[in-house]
A and B are shown apart, each in its own frame.
Chain A
């Protein structure tokens, strides 16, 4: 049996646009706008649904790569926190290589990595050492790839002023995805 969810969601959009919107009082622009935005959100979901897992995996991988780049300097700046970050890197790597890893675990791991890196950046604030500067540089160096992934994910929401400059979402996943 094929997955029919996309077909059902398309029906939701048609129902909204062809049945519900025409029945809304034209003097109620709030209701009309909400209905239009809901239809747009369902279209967004239809387009993004096939990529949900790949996107989460890729974001986790990008945070993992960022974290790996921080390990040597973290030993100097925040040694007590290093084992926990290393554990999280190992967990991310295991999840990356596990074809059955669930979305919840992947997202939780990415979130934990981001939290540990954010805390490390905060701990560098009053540290004048070269290691602290290298940590900040590494975060800055790795962040554009994460931004690009999320901008590509959200480009359909219509807020990008130059959407043609945003790479298509599948092009940002490794070829095996």
Chain B
């Protein structure tokens, strides 16, 4: 159902007046507002895929390091990193000297494409990695190019950590979505997976610099409304066609905005595919991809993690495994026991609907626009995400059925 949408529309060439109107109509967190505004302003720039070739990125990286490092340095073994659909990731080795001491480090450069499925903030990523350094295995951040001053787009450079995201003897799923794990690995990874979520949600966000994050008011619906506005704004910015289920879900969400009892740091995409582990020992070696994280309701993460699309059934064909790792009932009861935080079924349901809506948004609106405008280095993969959108729309219908 794409024929009419192929005709030029205002979303391809947004005017400044329209961008301002969207900002006014859908107030959201300040840093998200900055990212979305930047996305729309840059949408008007011509697509230049050549800027993202390895030689071009190597040159850009050298310009960046020239500005950041005092003395000589050497870059070697630069290669693409795979696994995601929203960012450009390169690994490289850097040799340099700091205060006369030789440094040798394997690093990762994580950068926005010209337009991402998720227009998120590298500054927030830097702050959240730094915040969790003593709490979770996360990479040390070395440098940030917040607005793409030296590199083609905003980027973060952090420590490369060893590990794999998928078991080598299992079929590798795109972006780790619906990944399965053999039982012996589940036994080792499952408790660590759960514990990490508990640590994230119980961390005191006041004990570090999270200045790029907004702390929403407790005992209010502010958090839920800010993020519903963000979704609605992106829907306005990106969609190529109408979808009545989307509007129906928005109506339900508006009528059921939940009150936030306790702000928690949220990972935002807590699932298999976003952690690395050592296959021999079963130890989680890194937590990555906090880009969708914010300070808000823990039920947002719990609902995301327990989405049916991100898990699968155990060998008995009946037990649903959260992220392919932990049986659902055990996951929820253990979370409450370990965190001391309650799970409210009504809020869990709200965020299930909200998360499915976010996935519909990304798969049917943002992915469509990004591919149409040729904005990423892997548009073929982004185009294939459409299938997720319809599965998520179905999930919304199932969830809403009992309330209509």
Complex Cα–Cα for A83 and B191 (A): 59
CB neighbours of B247 from chain A (8 A) = 118, 121-122
Encoded as 1 (CB less than 8 Å from any A CB) or 0, chain B from 241 to 274 comes to 1111111101100100000000000000000000
Q: Is B401 an interface residue (CB 8 A)?
A: yes
In whole Å, how far is A150's beta carbon from the nearest beta carbon of chain B?
Answer: 4
Question: Is there an interface contact between A104 and B3, defined as CB atoms closer than 8 Å?
Answer: yes
Complex Cα–Cα for A117 and B178 (A): 33
Question: Is there an interface contact between B1 and A136, defined as CB atoms closer than 8 Å?
Answer: no
Q: Is A99 an interface residue (CB 8 A)?
A: no
Question: Is there an interface contact between B243 and A37, defined as CB atoms closer than 8 Å?
Answer: no
Encoded as 1 (CB less than 8 Å from any B CB) or 0, chain A from 18 to 37 comes to 00000000011110011001
Q: What would be 5 A-B contacts, judged by CB atoms less than 8 Å apart?
A: A34-B378, A107-B1, A118-B246, A140-B401, A157-B386
Chain A residue at smallest Cβ distance from B247: A121
Question: Is there an interface contact between B177 and A159, defined as CB atoms closer than 8 Å?
Answer: yes
Complex Cα–Cα for A154 and B391 (A): 9
CB neighbours of B248 from chain A (8 A) = 121, 136, 139-140, 143
Complex Cα–Cα for A156 and B33 (A): 36
Which of A6-14, A84-92, A108-116 participates in binding chain B?
A108-116
Contact of B404 among A28, A34, A140, A160 (CB under 8 A): A140
CB neighbours of B63 from chain A (8 A) = none
CB neighbours of B349 from chain A (8 A) = none
Complex Cα–Cα for A59 and B390 (A): 13
A114 and B5 in contact, given A147-B390, A151-B387, A154-B386 (Cβ under 8 angstroms): no
Question: Is there an interface contact between B381 and A154, defined as CB atoms closer than 8 Å?
Answer: no
In whole Å, how far is A152's beta carbon from the nearest beta carbon of chain B?
Answer: 9
Question: Is there an interface contact between B309 and A159, defined as CB atoms closer than 8 Å?
Answer: yes
Question: Is there an interface contact between B313 and A115, defined as CB atoms closer than 8 Å?
Answer: no
CB neighbours of B79 from chain A (8 A) = 27-29
A136 and B404 in contact, given A147-B245, A159-B388 (Cβ under 8 angstroms): yes
Question: Is there an interface contact between A161 and B312, defined as CB atoms closer than 8 Å?
Answer: yes
Question: Is there an interface contact between A118 and B243, defined as CB atoms closer than 8 Å?
Answer: yes
Complex Cα–Cα for A46 and B393 (A): 26
Complex Cα–Cα for A60 and B276 (A): 45
CB neighbours of B312 from chain A (8 A) = 161-162
Question: Is there an interface contact between B391 and A159, defined as CB atoms closer than 8 Å?
Answer: yes
In whole Å, how far is B129's beta carbon from the nearest beta carbon of chain A?
Answer: 24
9 A-B pairs with the lowest CB-CB distances in the bound complex, closest first: A154-B387, A150-B390, A30-B80, A118-B242, A107-B3, A147-B394, A115-B242, A121-B247, A161-B178
Complex Cα–Cα for A153 and B390 (A): 10
Q: In the complex, which range does the number of interface residues on chain B fall in? A: 35 or more
In whole Å, how far is A68's beta carbon from the nearest beta carbon of chain B?
Answer: 14
Question: Is there an interface contact between A158 and B174, defined as CB atoms closer than 8 Å?
Answer: yes
CB neighbours of A153 from chain B (8 A) = 390
Q: Is B397 an interface residue (CB 8 A)?
A: yes
Question: B54-75: which have CB < 8 Å to A?
Answer: none
Complex Cα–Cα for A161 and B3 (A): 30
Encoded as 1 (CB less than 8 Å from any A CB) or 0, chain B from 350 to 387 comes to 00000000000000000000000000011011011111
In whole Å, how far is A40's beta carbon from the nearest beta carbon of chain B?
Answer: 8
Question: Is there an interface contact between A111 and B1, defined as CB atoms closer than 8 Å?
Answer: yes
Question: Is there an interface contact between B2 and A161, defined as CB atoms closer than 8 Å?
Answer: no
In whole Å, how far is B402's beta carbon from the nearest beta carbon of chain A?
Answer: 11
In whole Å, how far is B92's beta carbon from the nearest beta carbon of chain A?
Answer: 13
Complex Cα–Cα for A103 and B246 (A): 25
Complex Cα–Cα for A85 and B377 (A): 41
Question: A111-139: which have CB < 8 Å to B?
Answer: 111-112, 114-115, 117-119, 121-122, 124-125, 133, 136-137, 139
Q: Is B139 an interface residue (CB 8 A)?
A: no
Chain B residue at smallest Cβ distance from A115: B242
Q: Is B4 an interface residue (CB 8 A)?
A: yes
Q: Is A38 an interface residue (CB 8 A)?
A: yes
Q: Is A74 an interface residue (CB 8 A)?
A: no
Q: Is B82 an interface residue (CB 8 A)?
A: yes
Complex Cα–Cα for A12 and B79 (A): 28
Q: Is A41 an interface residue (CB 8 A)?
A: yes
In whole Å, how far is B117's beta carbon from the nearest beta carbon of chain A?
Answer: 14
Q: Is A82 an interface residue (CB 8 A)?
A: no
CB neighbours of A27 from chain B (8 A) = 79
Q: Is A155 an interface residue (CB 8 A)?
A: yes
Q: Is B400 an interface residue (CB 8 A)?
A: yes
Q: Is B311 an interface residue (CB 8 A)?
A: yes
In whole Å, how far is B53's beta carbon from the nearest beta carbon of chain A?
Answer: 10
